[in-house]
Chain A
Amino acid sequence: MNKKEPHFVDQLTNLFVLSMDGTISEEQFRILTNILKTNTAAREFFYDFIASYIGLDQLGILSEQNEEQENWSSQQIWDELLKIEKTAPEVEIPAAPKEPEEDKKPTENKKVHPKVSKFSVFSLVLSSAALLFVIVYAHFVSMRRGIETATLTDSMNAKWADIASPVEKGTRLVTGEKRWLLREGYAELLFDNQARVVLEGPAEFQILAEDRIGLSYGKVYARVPQTAGGFSVYTPNAKIIDLGTEFGVQVEIGGNTQLHVLKGKTMLMAGKTDRVNMEISQGDARKISGKTGEISDICCRPNHFVRVINSESNCVWRGQNLDLADIVGGGNGFGSGTTGMSIDPTSGKLSSKPEGRRGASNDYRLVASIPYVDGVFVPNGRSQQIVSSQGHLFQECPETTGLTCENIINVTANVDFLVTQTQYVSDASLRAISMHANMGITFDLQAMRGLIKGVDIQRFQSQFGIRRYAVRPSASNADFWVLVDGKLKFKKEHVKIGQFHSIDIELSENDRFLTLMITEGDDPETRFLEDMVLTAIDSDWGIFIDPVLVLSPK
């Protein structure tokens, strides 16, 4: 072959592309090696090719290209190339390498063969058609550089690598090559198409397009409304495309990608030379090996990702329930409360040193120091029993002595809760509200809704019984009550030590107040037990164990 043949670089490039693709033959590779060994200029082209390959495949340089390229005509390009050709170094090129044959599809050697039903295949075909549109549209229409496309709507304890240009609430993020490194903390971005993502540091990400975020490392959780369908998360070895859903993606240091789908479904595209598409639905999770590209099933972990943050209330929500005992302890319901902290039902004040037995009026007392507790009271049923700051009345309130003992206390259940006389619950993580008869506490559901926007309070769930604290267990006898806006939703009368019950009450978005109340179980004002004179409230150490509000994204 003539050294000056115009297309010698083309032939050399053919070998580069075949090699990179893994489809080069042994003979072609031998030829390539010989050229590279003997010709410095060919090696320069080789290194140019590697750099351009990295630039195109890894650095997102293509996404910087405006849709409107410089209006070069083909003739101009050929003229330009002719100039280059005249100055190009001489390269010894042997016979033209074989190009791939029609039936030799370089990227069809699949590593993963997921088993799918015919129905799934059909669904996939339909989804793929929609997907194709999304991809083509996204890549050819909206991959423009420097377009403002998302807003930082909130952040908590966020430390950004780029201290020169601080990222604050309201900062607009633009598409392009800039990589954002969130060293620690949390950041929430709202894309203009209303897709909302929460990033958990350390994380490195890139805004690739109006509907696309690239994650090099770290965790991201995406909530995508129907209107923003097609929103995608790109990782080094996978693309996750939303099909109307909520999902979390984690890229580990070693390069593995994890996808956890918590709601709806997504399309997962993984593999490098071998693309596998599969639909991943609610409750499912997959891991894509950074090393082999292999896709494996893993357990979906609903609490693995931070889903919602609220810097105003200092709340980080991973999908967990809202703990009412923590709120009694002065916390925000997510563990910031103090164990042992209590509210005095006779004053509404916080206290760490509860008083003993005492009597009080049945006034409704506001709790000013905890925004999520509306008020407390000592029910006596002798006059109208107010159970909220809005004047809700509990009409069926039983008559009591008006006595009470100690406070409404945030406690742990492992040492206190007695399922039977001999069996303890040993799970130290169980939180509880200790409430001796007669006491009531009203929580402000509306205030709690402000804790974490975008989340509904769906249910109140708890277990309840008598604490082993009771020094005279056989004297214990209490009634348990649950009210919503003054209306009775649940009651269990004459609960004695060793008895164990559950509550599960559905709540609607219009419900404002939740009241928990314990009374003395109709015991007489004075009673005798083993030659002792006891009051009606004696040994009525009621406890609500693991009292939670079940939350769900709207």
Chain B
Amino acid sequence: MKNSEKDVSETFLEVFLPNQKRILSFILCYIPNRADADDVFQNTTSVLWKKFDQYTAGTDFIAWSTVIARYEVMSYYKKKKRDGKIHFDEQMQRIIDADMETVNSQFDNRIDALRKCLKKLISDEIQILKMRYEQDLSFAKIADRLSISSTAAFKKVSKIHSRLIQCIRQRVVLEKEHE
């Protein structure tokens, strides 16, 4: 690899790696389906790399990358529309567009809140989340581990999520009030 190419790849990594989860989060807001969002994320990454020469160093990388991610999301939607598969309609996408600036600005607050809220879970609940997200176990596998039905495993995971988002909401609202 030539030095100049190496420099570009390094520079790309330096800005991309710390922001990749935000980009994935952005995509998930439009495509709340993990497998599909991953595909769009991969395409977005590829386009970001190809077009990196158009990015001006020192400017807002998230702003630049989410514009590209948005195009990739639109491309995904065109395909889904043709396939007749489940997707957010245009009205819903426009609503998310309008929300997105605030959503992006609150990402760190939400993550901070998540950290605090996790501490309020009991050990069993943390273990279930670890099965789901660290070990990537399906609901059926979690069910096997806990000797319960798949539906019960789904309910447990969903219930924990519900508690977490309620806790996160409360903390984010409280923080806003204190600002």
Which residues of chain A have a CB within 8 Å of any CB of chain B?
Answer: 9-10, 12-14, 16-17, 19-22, 24, 26, 29, 33, 36-37, 43-59, 61-65, 67-70, 72-74, 77, 80-81, 84-85, 87-88, 99-102, 105-108, 135, 139-140, 143, 161, 179, 181, 183-184, 202, 204, 216-217, 253-255, 269, 272-273, 275, 290-292
- In the A-B complex, the 5 residue pairs with the closest CB atoms: A107-B138, A51-B110, A13-B162, A291-B42, A48-B165
Total cross-chain contacts (CB, 8 A): 222
SS class of chain B's interface: helix, strand, loop or mixed? Answer: helix
Q: Are A61 and B34 in contact (CB under 8 A)?
A: no
Write the chain B residue with the least CB distance to A26.
B86
Please determine whether A48 and B168 come into contact, CB atoms closer than 8 angstroms.
yes
B99 touches A43 (CB 8 A): yes
Nearest CB in chain B: distance from A9 CB, A: 5
B107 at the interface (CB under 8 A from A): yes
> CB-CB < 8 A to B33: which residues of A?
19-20, 22
Chain B: CB-nearest residue to A208: B134
A-B contact pairs, 10 of them (CB 8 A): A16-B161, A17-B161, A33-B92, A54-B25, A57-B34, A64-B115, A88-B169, A101-B150, A272-B38, A275-B138
- Contact call A52/B17, Cβ cutoff below 8 A: no
Residues of chain B within 8 A (CB-CB) of A99 are 151, 154-155
Q: Provide the residues of chain B in CB contact with A183, threshold 8 Å.
A: 10, 14
In the assembled complex, the CB of A428 is this many whole angstroms from the nearest CB of chain B, namely 22
A379 smallest CB distance to B (angstroms): 48
**Please, how many angstroms separate the alpha-carbon atoms of A69 and B14 in the complex?**
35
Nearest-CB residue, chain A, relative to B25:
A54
Further pairs besides A13-B158, A56-B132: 18, Cβ < 8 Å: A9-B166, A20-B28, A24-B86, A33-B92, A37-B91, A43-B99, A49-B165, A52-B164, A55-B111, A56-B129, A61-B111, A81-B166, A99-B155, A108-B138, A140-B130, A184-B6, A217-B17, A291-B42
Q: Give every chain B residue within 8 A of A73 (Cβ-Cβ).
A: 122
Contact B127–A140 (Cβ < 8 Å): yes
C-alpha gap A47/B13 in the complex (Å): 27
Specify which of B17, B138, B155 is in contact with A204 (CB 8 Å cutoff): B17
- B49 sits at the interface (CB 8 A): yes
* Docked complex Cα distance between A181 and B14 (Å): 8
- Interface assignment of B2: CB less than 8 Å from any CB of chain A: no
Chain A residues near B158 (CB, 8 Å)?
10, 13-14, 17
In contact, B13 and A81 (Cβ under 8 angstroms): no
Interface flags, B18-43, vs A, CB<8A=1, else 0: 10110011001100111110110011
> Contacting B134 at CB < 8 Å: which of A143, A275, A290?
A143
Kindly identify which residue among B21, B38, B127, B135 contacts A59, using a CB–CB cutoff of 8 Å.
Answer: B21
A16-B161, A143-B130 given as contacts; is B92 within 8 A of A102 (CB)?
Answer: no
A181 near B17 with CB under 8 A, answer: yes
Q: Give chain A residues whose Cβ lies under 8 Å from the Cβ of B140.
A: 105, 107-108
From B42, B126, B131, B168, A255 is in contact (CB under 8 Å) with B42
Which residues of chain A come closer than 8 Å to B123, judged between CB atoms? Answer: 67-69
Identify A52's interface contact among B43, B122, B150, B168, CB under 8 A: B168
Is B136 an interface position by the 8 A CB rule?
A: yes
B165 pairs with A17, CB closer than 8 A: no
B46 at the interface (CB under 8 A from A): yes
Q: Does residue B121 face the partner (Cβ distance < 8 Å to A)?
A: yes
A275 to B137, CA, bound (A): 8
Q: What 0/1 readout, one digit per residue, does chain B (101-143) give for beta carbons within 8 Å of chain A?
A: 0010011001100110011111100110111111111111000
Contact partner, A50, options B17, B29, B150, B172, Cβ 8 Å: B29
Instruction: Tell me, rounded to whole Å, the shortest Cβ–Cβ distance linking B100 to chain A.
Output: 9
- With the chains together, A59 CA to B165 CA distance in Å? 17
B51 contacts chain A at the CB level, 8 A cutoff: no
Beta-carbon nearest neighbor of B85 in chain A: A26
Q: Are A52's CB and B165's CB within 8 A?
A: yes
- A residues near B166, Cβ cutoff 8 Å: 9, 45, 81, 84-85, 88
**Closest chain B residue, CB of each to CB of A14:** B158
Q: Is B9 interfacial (CB 8 A cutoff)? A: yes
Instruction: Give the distance in Å from the alpha carbon of A158 to the alpha carbon of B124 in the complex.
Output: 42
B76 interface contact, C-beta 8 A: no
| Known A58-B24, A139-B130: A17·B157 in contact at CB below 8 Å | yes
A22 lies within 8 A of B36 (CB): yes
Task: Write out the residue numbers on chain B whose beta carbons fall within 8 Å of the beta carbon of A17.
Answer: 154, 157-158, 161
User: Across the interface, do A54 and B24 meet the contact criterion of CB distance under 8 Å?
Assistant: yes
B151 to chain A, nearest CB (A): 5
- Residues from chain A with a CB closer than 8 A to the CB of B20 are 216
